[in-house]
């Protein structure tokens, strides 16, 4: 069966520096093009934690110097990261397609994801971004820029931003038009640039939308059959990292809820993936989601490994 598949790429697909990223995306392109070669329609999403962190840190450091670099707002940093990652990723996929004599256009869509200005996450910023500061520097940033700053595990003070839930994808009609024309589209990079709607205006907000949730929302919007989250582990486990660790081939909603309740999935890493998969699987009968590693993507799709999450 040919499926419409949203593939979400994690940090291990992109690396941390431009040199590393350029090398890694070559490897990343292979399982993606395998899917396309099998006849599936593929829409891509990806994370941007290290990349947006790097851009934000460079901008913040430079703006404080004599260079005259302007203050760069966080949503703009997110937009830059989408362009930078998309540039490498689209070229790697293009090259891999051409190496297999496949003439399929690939493009990145700079994507804004609409969030609710009343999302409770705005009351409780939790996501650390950018540099570490001393207490004195942190106080100045709180005073002059209104940042929320927290002490991060004894390593210094860091800015924290909220992580609201994705509500809609602003460029969804463009993404869908391209998908219908059989283009390979890269969208909602880093979870999308978070924006709130003010009349006809979309206004960027300093926040981080979880890329797993944004990918799930994108998968719903493009009416995908399958959401595949590619990460650093081949399967989801219970008792992860413990002696009685158990890798799971399949999870239904009840099991997911039970294991979430029992605290098996780490909040900053596996929990959003499981929740994103649940949301997609529950959104329409027949939809299913898979969590596996980049290396095992082909086996995962063939049903040989990974953790399948379905109703
Ligand atoms: P990504 O960049 O792909 O989003 P994350 O680091 O955010 O990657 O999440 C994947 C990581 O989640 C795995 O590498 C693993 O260390 C961790 N993890 C936490 N809990 C679990 C679990 N129960 N089963 C498997 N992996 C888990
Ligand atoms: Mg993650």
Closest-CA residue, ligand 1 atom 15, reads: 233
Helical spans, DSSP H, in the chain: 18-37, 49-63, 74-99, 135-145, 172-180, 211-221, 253-261, 270-283, 297-301
Give the distance (Å) from ligand 2 centre to CA of residue 10.
6
CA of 10, nearest ligand number? 1
pLDDT of residue 237: 98
Mutate to test the pocket of ligand 1, among 12, 215, 232 (most ligand atoms within 8 A of CB): 232
State how far the Cα of 157 lies from the Cα of 248, in Å rounded to an integer: 38
Give the distance (Å) from ligand 1 centre to CA of residue 269.
5
Structure pTM? 0.95
- Per residue in 178-198, pLDDT (tens digit) is 999 999 999 999 999 999 999
The confidence band for 130, taking pLDDT boundaries of 50, 70 and 90, is: confident
Atom index in ligand 1 nearest the CA of residue 231 equals 3
The total of other beta-carbon atoms located within 10 Å of residue 111's CB is 27
Catalytic residue among 211, 217, 275, 296: 211
Tokens at residue 187, please? Answer: 């969208």
Give the distance (Å) from ligand 1 centre to CA of residue 240.
9
Give the distance (Å) from ligand 1 centre to CA of residue 267.
9
192 belongs to the catalytic site: no
What CA dihedral angle connects 130, 131, 136 and 138, to 10 degrees?
10
CA of 209, nearest ligand number? 2
211 belongs to the catalytic site: yes
- Per residue in 195-223, pLDDT (tens digit) is 999 999 999 999 999 999 999 999 999 99
Do the beta carbons of residue 57 and residue 19 sit within 8 Å?
A: no
Do the beta carbons of residue 310 and residue 250 sit within 8 Å?
A: yes
The total of other beta-carbon atoms located within 10 Å of residue 55's CB is 21
304 belongs to the catalytic site: no
- Per residue in 69-125, pLDDT (tens digit) is 888 999 999 999 999 999 999 999 999 999 999 999 999 999 999 999 999 999 999
11 belongs to the catalytic site: yes
Helical spans, DSSP H, in 146-252: 172-180, 211-221
Fold of 4-115+167-309: Carbamate kinase (3.40.1160)
Mutate to test the pocket of ligand 1, among 48, 85, 212, 266 (most ligand atoms within 8 A of CB): 266
Looking at every residue in the chain, the average pLDDT score rounds to 95
pLDDT of residue 131: 81
Give the distance (Å) from ligand 1 centre to CA of residue 239.
13
Give the distance (Å) from ligand 1 centre to CA of residue 10.
10
Atom index in ligand 1 nearest the CA of residue 235 equals 25
Catalytic residue among 172, 217, 273, 310: 273
The confidence band for 61, taking pLDDT boundaries of 50, 70 and 90, is: confident
- Ordered by start, the domain boundaries in the chain are 4-115+167-309, 125-161
Catalytic residue among 15, 47, 48, 127: 127
217 belongs to the catalytic site: no
Do the beta carbons of residue 135 and residue 58 sit within 8 Å?
A: no
Cα 265 from chain centroid (whole Å) = 18
Task: Report residues whose beta carbon is within 6 angstroms of any ligand 1 atom.
Answer: 10-11, 47, 231-233, 236-237, 240, 264-266, 269-270
Do the beta carbons of residue 171 and residue 187 sit within 8 Å?
A: yes
């Amino acid at each position: 069966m040919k499926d419409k598949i949203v593939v979400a790429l994690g940090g291990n697909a992109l690396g941390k520096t431009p040199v590393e990223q350029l090398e890694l995306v070559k490897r990343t392109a292979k399982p993606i093009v395998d899917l396309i070669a099998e006849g599936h329609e593929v829409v891509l999403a990806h994370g941007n934690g290290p990349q947006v962190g790097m851009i934000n840190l460079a901008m913040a450091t430079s703006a404080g110097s004599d260079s005259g670099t302007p203050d760069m707002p966080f949503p703009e940093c997110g937009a830059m990261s989408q362009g930078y990652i998309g540039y490498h990723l689209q070229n790697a996929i293009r090259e891999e397609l051409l190496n297999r004599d496949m003439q399929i256009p690939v493009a990145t869509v700079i994507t804004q994801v609409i969030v609710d200005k009343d999302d409770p996450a705005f009351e409780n910023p939790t996501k650390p971004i950018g540099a570490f500061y001393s207490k004195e520097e942190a106080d100045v940033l709180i005073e002059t820029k209104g940042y929320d700053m927290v002490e991060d595990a004894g390593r210094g003070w860091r800015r924290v931003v909220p992580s609201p839930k994705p509500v809609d994808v602003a460029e969804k009609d463009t993404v869908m038009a391209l998908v219908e024309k059989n283009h390979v589209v890269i969208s909602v990079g880093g979870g999308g640039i978070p924006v709130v709607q003010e009349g006809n205006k979309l206004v960027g907000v300093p926040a981080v939308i979880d890329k797993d949730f944004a990918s799930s929302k994108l998968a719903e919007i493009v009416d995908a059959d399958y959401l595949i989250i590619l990460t650093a582990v081949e399967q989801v486990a219970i008792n992860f990292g413990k002696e009685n660790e158990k890798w799971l081939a399949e999870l239904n909603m009840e099991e997911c809820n039970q294991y979430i309740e029992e605290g098996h999935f780490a909040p900053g890493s596996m929990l959003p993936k499981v929740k994103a998969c649940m949301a997609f699987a529950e959104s329409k009968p027949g939809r299913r989601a898979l969590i596996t590693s980049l290396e095992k993507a082909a086996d995962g799709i063939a049903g040989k490994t990974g953790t399948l999450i379905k109703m």
